[in-house]
Structure 1
Amino acid sequence: MNLNFEFFFNNLPELTITGLAFGAIYALIALGYTMVYGVLQLINFAHSEVFMYGTFATLWVVMAFNAADANGIQLVLILIAALIASMAMSAAIALILERVAYRPLIKRKAPRLIALISAIGASFVLAELMGLRDRVASWVHLDDNLSDYVRKAKINNSMAGVLEKPRYDVFGVSISLIDIIVIVAAVAMMVLLDQFVRRSRLGKGIRATAQDPETASLMGVNPTRTIQMTFLIGGLMAGVAGFLYMLKLDATNYQVGFLLGVKAFTAAVLGGIGNLRGALLGGLVLGVAENWGQAILGSEWRDVIAFVLLVLILLVRPTGLLGESLGKARA
């Protein structure tokens, strides 16, 4: 193994900024795991597919409005529409998940293991439905009308070339405009969500349900509505992550959620699962560590680095960086 420390130190600022951009995306996806675990003590493994559907919503809006030929204000409006569509799609999928895969089990007070199995099953169903969307369209005789959106369903779907990605020299450091947009947008969304959960009436209901569901219910908090809103908020954040992911990497496929979801879960545990600020910190730390590690060891080690970091943190500090234990998670 050749260790490339010279490349690492020569490009440290650029590697750090790129790592923060990836980490910000991990953090937004991690919010879904954190919030659902905080309220239900359940790992929603289908959340990775909630994110995946958001990436496709972004792609489809860009294709529908032919964004490759747009520029200026027209392109900005198309991207805003893509962001809204991504958030709406992911939120809808998250609510369907809650209604179909979880609510019946919660009402029957099913063991958490059953809910976990349901989450894994829902994850596979959602992924395969997207991978077989050409077949689904043919069943309803819309394959001709939707040919641009369903053809080659299991192959990488790209919107490359839609958006220019200029780089700027700032104090001798080459910075991509897209990286800055991703980092700023993700941090802004995290701050807004943190303040919403801490200060709004609904947010206080979510925190109360996470701390003591029975007492919260006695105090007038509707547990079903609270769980719905938890899934909805997680879905909205996953939609933002899906949009930013497409800005950053341009391409998606029906399996894109799997690895991103695992890394987002890693980020949630790394920061302290059940802690919103921990999700942000864990995501940023993971993104930077991955980027630094692959610069030294090689790109093929990127995913290995992420999980080695998780193991090390859990060995040294099992409660995560911000100290929230798994058994006492708070939204």
Structure 2
Amino acid sequence: MPRLQAIDFCACSSVSFRNSFRSVLDLELPETLNLTRISFHKCISLPSSIYEKLFPHLGKVTHLDLAGTRVNDKALLSIPQTARITHLNLAKCREVTSEIVIKFVTSHPATANSLAFLSLSTDASSHLLLGKEDVDALLPNLPQTLRSLSLKGSRMDPSHLPMLKVLAERLEELAVGGGLDLSDIRRLFYKDREWQSHNLRYIDLSDIEAKVGSGDELLSPNTAPLHVIELQERTYEWAAKMRKNLERVGWTAKEFGARYWLVRLNADGTTVDNGARWWKLGAESWGMRKVPVAVAEVGGMYGSFMFGRRL
């Protein structure tokens, strides 16, 4: 155990798992655990007290996936300042507040100069973490190191576009929330009759009614390096009916599980993209929902959790 550096409890939620983990509360833990990469992705049965007990000992953590857990503000703020978190997934975490989340990701020493992947996604139909004012406070203060940002489920506004444009210069992945429309998104790429420079490879539009047809400016060669546009199911089905028209302008429709994309075609007709990045730990596709804890090929259960689920 002292040499254990990474562990993944993805989707562990049985009663026996919960009861076994509660024994942690009775342990005398070392001041700093050697764990650097840990995933509690969808561990829905663990109480907040587990995280409150464990997190003060994660002084070396770099990858932390808490999606769908009962982590709370107290636990989040107890992470030692010596940690250097590059990957943080707080998707669908209902027991944290926007105030503490914003404080943690913008000013805590564990994230302020290291964060590359950040998901604050929520299901807007059942929970709101970030309102307009929260997004106002968050966007200008995000770490310069950030490469992937998900604000899916947040309440956004066209007034956020100038800051999104700044972020698009360094982000490779961006998931926007509701409150925008397709004309707002186009302005990230084309404004005042000029194509805008950006670094985006992937944009998630599944929170907005985005009917992207073959004649849309988003599908222009001038939006490169944009490679993947994620859509909600209804608008995807509308676009997929015109697959031949999409292919004529260099795009195609793809789906996996409960997710739907338009993907740019290469000159040879394939959609293969050099999407491998150091912060993906072996994954090559864009828009991962789960933080990996080891460098490996993605497939099976992990493929489903990373790329087949809405959140």
Query: What TM-score results when the alignment is normalised by the length of structure 2?
Result: 0.24
Write 1 or 2 for the structure with the bigger share of strand.
Answer: 2
Query: What TM-score results when the alignment is normalised by the length of structure 1?
Result: 0.23
